[in-house]
A and B are shown apart, each in its own frame.
Chain A
Amino acid sequence: MEQNEELLVPKNTEKKKRRRKYWETQRLNLKRNKSILWFIVPAALFTIVFSYIPMFGVLFAFKDPAFDSAMRRGADIIGALKYSNWTLETFKSIFNDSFWLSLKNSVLINLIKLVFVFPLSILIAIQLSEMKNQKLSKLILIIICIPNFLSWTVVIKAWTSFFDPDIGFLGKLLSKATNGEIISYYEASFKPLFVFYSAWKGAGWGSILYYAAIMSIDKSYYESATIEGANKIQKAFYLTIPAIGGTIALMLVMMFSGFTGVGLEQLKLMLDPTNYIESQQTLDYYIYELSIGQGAGVSYVQAAALGVFNGLVGLLLLLGGNALTTKTLKRGLW
């Protein structure tokens, strides 16, 4: 049957027909429901002005340093664009040592997050769902969500105070353990600490989605698994995790798309301006310093080029991650 139909109607005309039908319906829809489009106008205006017009900023990346000096003298954007020449040199100059260092640090931090923090939320959700006392599990859920609703300023200040050798509880213990030696925990442990803070803030809230997904699994699966003699670990690995695979895939893709960024707010708080260390240098911060920093190193051209690079990498990672999860887990964003 299927073959017969294909023989009767050549593919090309089928396509054309469908396309013509699509435009016909759109035309009719436009005729009948024109007034409804007015609802979109305000949102579209904001999107055009603050999302689409900045996209033309991609052009800055193809300008020579004359653009920078014109901007610094206070010229308007159009004027500066006319004043400077087109060039591809910027893209050669941005891939320097500090770029590779910051890229390496950003990716490393995200890898640590992927290995330790990402499974933590799933683990918490599974543990919570296995608790017999429902009231207690909800109380725990409510408490572990609190840090997500505090600002980074509060989180980092609370922890630095907690680590303080004079007033903080943990700091006092640590300084006792090391005989009063002041521990500058920033130097060797910047990355682990960075990831720890973000886990402390976000892991509890991150587990909510998984918790809701686990709760929607049919309970009879677990009962039959128990009768078959599966223990809790087996149930978690062969039942729970496959069942919430869609949620996990979604979160994984979202995480992939932000793999070059680490979060500027947290980073700025953890920076020690008097004591530069290499592991602080991440891509967000590098671009921030290039574009808004007060020093002589400001270069809009380079920052724009890096922004383009960052945006493209993020897009590629999102699409690639989505393709990967669709292939392996049969689930993706769309």
Chain B
Amino acid sequence: MKTRAWVHAWLLLAPALVLLATFTHWPAFATFVDSFYSTPKGARAAVWVGLENYQTLWDDPVFWKAVRNNLIFAGATIPLSIGLALVMALWVNERITGRAFLRMAYFTPTVLPMIAVANIWLFFFTPQYGLLEQVLSLFGAKPHNWLGDPSTALACITVVAVWKEAGFFMIFYLAALQTLNPSLREAAAIEGASRWFFFRRVQWPLLMPTTLFVLVNAVINGFRMVDHVFILTRGGPDNATILLLYHLYEVGFKFWDTAYASAITVVLVAVLASVSLFQFFVLDKRVHYK
């Protein structure tokens, strides 16, 4: 009986585990191994090159540009989208006029394909006749090519990402706010606490697990979100908007330097895995959440 249950369980697991092994575990391992070999070219097979790909990476100014851009992009997107999400959730949680409409307006960007909305934003940012330029010209601003100027292109990319994500994170805050005990609010009202005080001393601490959960997701997305770059700037102008995953795409699938691409993948995997491990071993231990 005991052995039969054992066999039974593994049979149930087998299909999922085989697929996971083929398309997650094996490629992760193979990427790591390949990053120590050269890119096979024609009849020349891959040869062991030790750390050469990592040396290339270290000396590649585009890689460092991508790292820098990605840190700026993530560093701006994460706090802005989380902050806005929190404000949105606090509003929608109240009995505010047009609540259903507000919730819909905030959340809609989340369900749409990034590729599609990036097209809309491209139009929005278009020099001369895009909506942004039209509105700004009403205020007498000088014409400006927002996506074509290296000093503003990354900011545009960030704005689109924040716009796309804030509504998504709002949902988690809203869910958490709705589980808060209403008597807390009544007690605060009796005590004559201000709204700000109530938020800072009651809501914010109770929302901490949600904030951490959202934070982990935001960090991961900060390194994974590149679809809009394909439409808006293709990493340009002059690599001003190149992000790590986009650089990986260019190296691996435009220049077909798969060995170097493997080294970049290892870096990305290391970043994402450390975020998850941090969540698993540090945050989950400290914060109680179910």
A, B assembled together: no
Residues of chain B touching chain A, judged by Cβ–Cβ distance below 8 Å, are: none
Residues of chain A touching chain B, judged by Cβ–Cβ distance below 8 Å, are: none
